[in-house]
Amino acid sequence: MTPQLQQAIRLLQLSSLELSVEVQDALDSNMMLELDEDTGTSDDGAADDNNLDDVATDDSPSELNEVDALDDIAEIDVVGSTTEDIPEDLPVDSEWEDIYDGPGPAGAVATPSSGPAEFESVRSADETLREHLLWQLNLLPMTDVDRAIAFAIIDMLNHDGYLESDLQSVCDTVNGSDEVQIEMDEVAAVLKQVQGLDPAGVAARDLRECLLVQLGQLDQTTPWLTEAKQLCTQHLDVLGSRDYGLVMRRLKLSQDELRLVLDLVQSLNPRPGAVFNEEPPEYIIPDVYVRKDKDRWKVELNSESLPQIRVNPYYASMIKRADNSPDNNALKSHLQEAKWFIKSIQSRSETLLRVATAIVERQQAFLEHGEEAMKPLVLHDISEALGMHESTISRVTTRKYMHTARGIYELKYFFSSHVATTFGGEASSTAIRAVMKKLISAENSQKPLSDSKIATLLSDQGVTVARRTVAKYREAMQIPPSNERKQLR
């Protein structure tokens, strides 16, 4: 493969964010490229490009042949053929004429590239748990020795705010760094002070102590506080196994009374330090928009995510015919690389549009009715329909996102394996998961459905799956087993 073809393949698999970085690098390294800030005059720009073709034809005919060959990449199953190969009678409309020359799609949500920054995007540096605790610690009147012990305790906390080391380790750490020798009771006393800091429950050594510390900071008149302390102190293991009958007998409580005690316990935070480790949300810019227009699903590329670049006409006009000087040859080389880069980006966008169109055509039932109507689909199906290689489909659908009325999905989401049904048809694994989720959401919380029971219910609906397959799908959806889903009410 030529370097130009390798570049086209590499751009094909980039996400929109990675593509923007790649474009910026190209703008920085190639003088012939510039941002096309006036997309409304792109017709003139296309005419300019035609004139620029004449500039470079004299001394590099072989290179231009390679440029023209990019349009035929589909013959080696890498990028695909042009949109002219798509028949006009498809049930899905594709608007390609608005991608480069016109404004963004009518239903698209514009993402401004300039202007005042949103308030949410202007954030100060996130405060860590350690910084939060040290700030509070500096406000407390403490001796230097106690402060050194507190520092050692804070440094030993994990991300959830728990003290994983024992008190002897804290004692050895402080004694090893200072000449003053401390005792275990001093460490225990300072630990109590650290546990009194915010967030409540920090510096606990296990879950039981974490919950008891938080209960100890509540008002003593809090209803059911005594029973909650007794539950966490003596019967936490029984509560973890969801044996509510045994808990009621040991605490001598009725079901309604135990429910009130559990409400109090469940209001506590078992991971007090986790709030300081939350990663900022990642905002996804869709590559493709799908909307319904007059009973037809229309597929459009997000013009805001497409790089708008063009050849700089001023620098291109500096190229002289029949001039083989080093400077002129450098200009010709930059021009050729710029044209290749622009064609590679256009080919990437065109292939993405074709693949998204084919996916929407086959998954219209999902767009109409939801996950339960998802049809089985594999890479080979799209590959065969578009005449592309499966590796090309895999590259196009990785880290590319589609905006639908039901949400934003990665293109990979629409591909799933299938299971044969007793009616002679096929059901996708995505649809089976959706049915499982519906069954579990409607189950009796006091008697949750086991995996075997779910398999039986699916079989009654014509979908034959093994119990282990149900367990695999349930774990993939991060749904706990039946014994952990059991609730008091």
Q: Are residues 239 and 186 in the same domain?
A: yes
State which of 342, 361, 379 marks the end of a domain. Answer: 342
What pLDDT score was predicted for residue 41?
43
Tell whether omega for the bond before 141 is within 30 degrees of 0, i.e. cis.
no
Q: How many domains does the chain have?
A: 3
50 C-beta neighbours (distance < 10 Å), count:
9
- Is 393 contained in some domain? no
- Is 352 contained in some domain? no
Q: Are residues 160 and 247 in the same domain?
A: yes
- Is 396 contained in some domain? no
Domain of 156 in residue numbering reads as 129-276
Average pLDDT over residues 207-218: 94
The model's pTM is 0.67
Among the listed residues 447, 460, 455, the one whose alpha carbon sits nearest the alpha carbon of residue 472: 455
- pLDDT confidence tier of residue 348, bands split at 50, 70 and 90: very high
Q: Are residues 206 and 76 in the same domain?
A: no
Calculate the alpha carbon distances from 399 to 129, 223, 288, 386, 411 in Å: 33, 51, 12, 20, 8
For 245-269, write each residue's pLDDT tens digit: 899 999 999 999 999 999 999 999 9
State which of 302, 327, 342 marks the end of a domain. Answer: 342
Higher-confidence residue: 302 or 124? 302
What pLDDT score was predicted for residue 459?
87
State which of 253, 276, 299 marks the end of a domain. Answer: 276
| DSSP output for 16-56 | HHHHHHHHHHHHHH-TTEEE---GGGHHHHHHHHHHHHHHT
- Is 409 contained in some domain? no
Q: Are residues 182 and 253 in the same domain?
A: yes
Q: Please check whether residue 402 is in contact with residue 286, taking contact to mean a CB–CB distance below 8 angstroms.
A: yes
Q: Are residues 308 and 207 in the same domain?
A: no
pLDDT above 90: percentage of residues in the chain: 49
- Is 375 contained in some domain? no
**Using alpha carbons only, how large is the chain's radius of gyration in Å?**
32
pLDDT above 70: percentage of residues in the chain: 79
Q: Are residues 142 and 261 in the same domain?
A: yes
Q: Kindly give the residue spans of alpha helices, DSSP state H, lying in 278-325.
A: 313-317
Average pLDDT over residues 474-481: 91
Average pLDDT over residues 234-247: 89
- Is 121 contained in some domain? no
Tell how strand 401-404 and strand 407-410 pair up.
Answer: antiparallel
CATH number, domain containing residue 446 = 1.10.10.60
Q: Are residues 139 and 20 in the same domain?
A: no
- pLDDT confidence tier of residue 407, bands split at 50, 70 and 90: very high
- pLDDT confidence tier of residue 425, bands split at 50, 70 and 90: low
- Is 41 contained in some domain? yes
For 285-341, write each residue's pLDDT tens digit: 899 999 998 889 999 999 888 888 999 999 888 888 778 888 888 899 999 999 999
Distance between CA 299 and CA 404 in Å, rounded? Answer: 10
